[in-house]
Structure 1
Amino acid sequence: MHFSESDWIACCGSSKFAKEMAKVRPFKNLTKAIEMSRQIWWNQVDVPGWLEAFRAHLRIGVLSSKSTIDWCAEEQATALSSANDRALKDLAEWNQLYESKKFGFVFLVCATGKSSSEILQFLKGQITNRLLVELQVAANEQQKITKLQLSKLVSQNTAPSGDKNTSKLSLLE
């Protein structure tokens, strides 16, 4: 079994990223795949490609479909478990301000291990950024998310023997 472009796009959301990852496979191991993903993201994917990846994300705290829940719930688990109705309302309001009134793209944060209040504080801090600065911040957050998704993709396809070194790395082909 080989990872397809659709597998790569599920990790990042950018078709350019997915095509480039498909071109340079196979990877010796997960570390090499992550290194290549960084190189491709920063050196081959342009701003429209970044924006395409950003559009693939729901607003933080919003989980609607089964596939989205499967990919995002773990990342957002801490934030969602710590969020009360007021926190979710605040996140929704600040997300709206960020996206509609300030930057034109969804607020991105690698939410793993962050509480809803930490995310809200980070979001409020980003509002004061200039667009070029925020594009860089969002691209950095996207890269963190991509790394997690690549790790998840590989771990879901790991050999059941329990030996960490026997993952089906041919899946990275």
Structure 2
Amino acid sequence: MTAPPGLIEFDALSDARAVELLARCCSSTVWARRVAAGRPFRSADALYRTADEVLAALTESEVDAALAGHPRIGDRADNPSSAREQSAVASAGDDVRARLRAGNEAYEQKFGHVYLVCASGRSAHELLDVLHERLGNDAATERTILRSELAAINRIRLERLLDEIASGQLR
């Protein structure tokens, strides 16, 4: 089996550079270091599987560190990945954005952390519906969902990372 474009180059990076690039995917430095330590990967699936396994093993405080890299849904994104992922929200009407802001505040008061959802390909209305649904969860259920959403976001970002490495777009 041949490695996908970008994977061989990713595996050849210095540890420091690999961790730096992985930290763009997930703000937990523990996650980034542990995923980088799993190199070399035989396939993209092996990379994604390792990323998921490392995420599943993170302590709650490390998951919180990962959350710190995600802006509220509907807020101005402070990084290109979040801006791209939340692009549908940026064009939503003021009423939907106001409802998202209010929902985000209610969520944070209830759970103590930002509402995290894989926003790629989802409309602002859909994200608002998911937010309202998740507000009905208990804390343990929500942490399980949050980890699943974080894994989905990490996967999308890892795919994009390999594409950017392959195309020489990285800075």
Which position in structure 2 is the counterpart of 1:74?
84
Percent of pairs identical after alignment? 27
The one-letter amino acid paired with 1:126 is R
Quote how far apart the aligned CAs of 1:102 are.
Answer: 0.2
Q: Which of 79, 85, 101 is residue 92 of structure 1 equivalent to?
A: 101
The one-letter amino acid paired with 1:90 is R
Quote how far apart the aligned CAs of 1:76 are.
Answer: 1.4
Per the normalisation by structure 1, the TM-score is 0.83
Equivalent pair of 2:88/2:122 in contact (CA under 8 Å): yes
CA distance in 1, matches of 2:102, 2:96: 10
Which position in structure 2 is the counterpart of 1:153?
161
The one-letter amino acid paired with 2:83 is A
Per the normalisation by structure 2, the TM-score is 0.84
CA distance in 2, matches of 1:151, 1:111: 16
The one-letter amino acid paired with 1:84 is G
Alpha-carbon displacement from aligned partner over 1:91-144 (angstroms, at most 9, x marks no partner)? 011101111x20010000101111111000100111111111111111110000
Which position in structure 1 is the counterpart of 2:151?
143
Q: How many residues are paired up?
A: 154
Quote how far apart the aligned CAs of 1:80 are.
Answer: 2.7
Which position in structure 2 is the counterpart of 1:106?
114
Which position in structure 2 is the counterpart of 1:124?
132
- SS at 2:86's partner residue? helix
Quote how far apart the aligned CAs of 1:47 are.
Answer: 1.3
CA distance in 1, matches of 2:61, 2:159: 25
Which position in structure 1 is the counterpart of 2:51?
37
Matched, 1:51 2:64: yes
CA distance in 1, matches of 2:34, 2:144: 21
CA distance in 1, matches of 2:161, 2:25: 8
Which position in structure 1 is the counterpart of 2:6?
none
Larger RCO: 1 or 2 (CA < 8 Å, sep 6+): 1
Equivalent pair of 2:89/2:97 in contact (CA under 8 Å): no
Off by >3 Å, runs of 4+ in structure 1: none
The one-letter amino acid paired with 1:49 is E
Deviates more, 1:32-41 or 1:141-150: 32-41
